[in-house]
Structure 1
Amino acid sequence: MWAQRLMWIAWPAFLVAAVLEMVVFALVDPSDLHWFGAPLPFSREAVYTMAFFVFWAAAMVSSALTTLLAMSPFEVNRCPTPEHQRPKDCAREGNC
């Protein structure tokens, strides 16, 4: 189940990062970028790579939040402990 959810998060984020990479660097030349007034000390390929991973991480956070908000209350509140291992005095019916 978690592997499936991870793919729901990672794959769309990967596709969005790829599109963002193409759009941003079609308009921006990495050699023209400056950080605190100084040119970046990285090659173009390094800037492309770092930007891709930043875009991917941002899109994964967005996808993860969407996946979290799509979970039902039962999924969020259920207990991971198997029923036969739960304490006898469990206050929450089936959700300890």
Structure 2
Amino acid sequence: MFSPAFRQQALQVLWPSFLMAGVLEMLLFAVVDPGDLQWFGGTPIDWPRQAVYTATFFICWGVMAVSGGLTVLLMKSDSDVNRQDPF
């Protein structure tokens, strides 16, 4: 379905973003207590600590992956981006 080059680029973005999401989460929760978090309206988040850790990890991973994906996209030449065959 996807070309080997596309799969390789996806893994080159997803693996480092996975590692950095773990580092970012450790740094974040070294400063912030998950029990003190509140929604934007001021009501406390009534999730177990592990649920907060898990959701935060996936949010961090997604942000890091989007950042890496945009970097890969911006490094492509204009002929690669405007090619008719996307995969």
TM-score interval, smaller chain: 0.7 to 0.9
Q: Is the counterpart of residue 63 in structure 1 residue 64 in structure 2? A: no
Please provide the CA RMSD for this pair: 1.4
Distance 1:33 1:9 in 2: 30
Larger radius of gyration: 1
Find 1:38's aligned residue among 34, 40, 43. Answer: 43
- Which residue is 1:13 aligned to? 17
Unmatched 5+ stretches in structure 1: 82-96
Q: TM-score, normalised by structure 1?
A: 0.79
Give the structure with the larger strand fraction: 1
RCO comparison, higher one (Cα < 8 Å, 6+): 2
Give the Å deviation of 1:77: 2.1
Unmatched 5+ stretches in structure 2: none
Q: TM-score, normalised by structure 2?
A: 0.86
Give the Å deviation of 1:75: 1.4
Distance 1:33 1:77 in 2: 45
Give the Å deviation of 1:19: 0.6
Q: How many residues align?
A: 81
